[in-house]
Structure 1
Amino acid sequence: MIKNVIFIFVSLLLISCGKDPAPKPYGELRLEYPTPKYQKFESNCGYSFEYSNFALITNAKKPCWYYMNYPKMKAKVFVTYYPIQNDFADHIREAEKMVYEHTVKASSIDTKSFEYPEKKVYGNFYELKGQSASNLQFYVTDSTKHFVTAYLYFNTRPKPDSLAPAIDYIKNDMKHMLDTFEWKK
């Protein structure tokens, strides 16, 4: 029995001898997305904009509601349209409520107002930092007839560091969308 214990001990010593462990270099995930080429989206609901060919637009639950899908990023921009019928202030309150509901998880909310008076396009763009469910949101209106909102959602748990490249890409797309947004006459 002692011979077996000594044999096992010596075997373990011989097996465990080898190269000294070396630390592995720290690697970062590198995500690269294609340079966007923009195409025009014409809605039957009174507006148009340009969006990236990296996204696919599909119909959502209601008429004039759309999903701008980014399948490779597992992301969606949910676009809604509401006609204004003496309820402009209610639409503004609802859009801001959707943003500020995320204050529980968001570490900060950057708000940028924009206006293109020549096109009658006005609104706010919100960037939510931290672990919020929606990182980018905006509303756009002509303040008399039309009100459009958009919210970015990922089909994953909010991980701001991992999602940062995708958020930046979609943020640029959403800003381009606003820059090219027009109401139909």
Structure 2
Amino acid sequence: MFKKLIFTFLGFILLSCSKEALPKPSGELRLEYPAPKYQSFTSPCNFTFEYSDFAKVRAAKNPCWYYIEYPKMKAKVFITYFPIKNDFDLHVKESEKMVYEHTIKASSIDTKSFSFPERKVFGNFYELKGQSASNLQFFVTDSTRHYVTANLYFNSRPKPDSLAPAVEYIKKDMLHLIETFEWKK
């Protein structure tokens, strides 16, 4: 009886292992966000721009400072406004310092200058690659009276692969913000 049980058990093992086991391919998370519809934001601090309806604009602690929040992405674009008072160079240096402080973690920094002379809108857009705490930054100025900066932050550890779809979505929104940015007269 014991021999029959052993032969039956061995038979099941031989028959059940006839196919070679293959590992399953790793799946990737596919994040899709809605096509943006833009709405206008007017600050009492002399500027306007358009932002995505997927986000919300909220006031920050200081006057003329704002958050553009993306709740589903756990992201914020922090916007600051400064009036220029013979300190234009200081503001530019401070913006560049904020960008280049991330060189420790960033694998590269792409800088693009923009200029819309008909609206007196000038500045730089910075894209930081790698495990940087802030992936996108820019400043906008009329170079005489007004200076605005913006920085993107996520409420998570910097993981470039995981955050890439959200960064790309917000990058398009930030570029649209720059393209529609105007100083109030």
Q: Distance in 1 between matches of 2:111 and 2:174?
A: 14
Q: Deviations over 1:33-83 (max 9, x none)?
A: 000000000000000000000000101110000000000000000000000
- Structure 1 residue matching 2:168: 3-state secondary structure: helix
1:99 counterpart = 2:99 = yes
Counterpart of 1:39 in structure 2 is 39
Counterpart of 2:151 in structure 1 is 151
- Structure 2 residue matching 1:61: 3-state secondary structure: coil
Question: Structure 2: which amino acid aligns with 1:120?
Answer: K
Counterpart of 1:3 in structure 2 is none
Q: Distance in 2 between matches of 1:21 and 1:154?
A: 40
Q: Distance in 2 between matches of 1:175 and 1:25?
A: 36
Residue 22 of structure 1, CA deviation = 2.8
Residue 130 of structure 1, CA deviation = 0.4
Residue 20 of structure 1, CA deviation = 5.4
Runs of 4+ in 1 over 2 A off after TM superposition: 17-22
Counterpart of 1:169 in structure 2 is 169
Residue 21 of structure 1, CA deviation = 3.5
Question: Structure 1: which amino acid aligns with 2:183?
Answer: W
Counterpart of 2:160 in structure 1 is 160
Q: Distance in 2 between matches of 1:90 and 1:61?
A: 22
TM-score, normalising length from structure 1? 0.90
TM-score, normalising length from structure 2? 0.90
Gaps of 5+ in 1: 1-6
Q: Distance in 2 between matches of 1:53 and 1:149?
A: 21
Question: Structure 1: which amino acid aligns with 2:132?
Answer: S
Q: Distance in 2 between matches of 1:175 and 1:99?
A: 17
The alignment's C-alpha RMSD in Å is 2.1
Question: Structure 1: which amino acid aligns with 2:172?
Answer: N
Within a 5 Å distance, the mapping from 1:1-185 to structure 2 comes to 21-185=21-185
- Structure 1 residue matching 2:126: 3-state secondary structure: strand
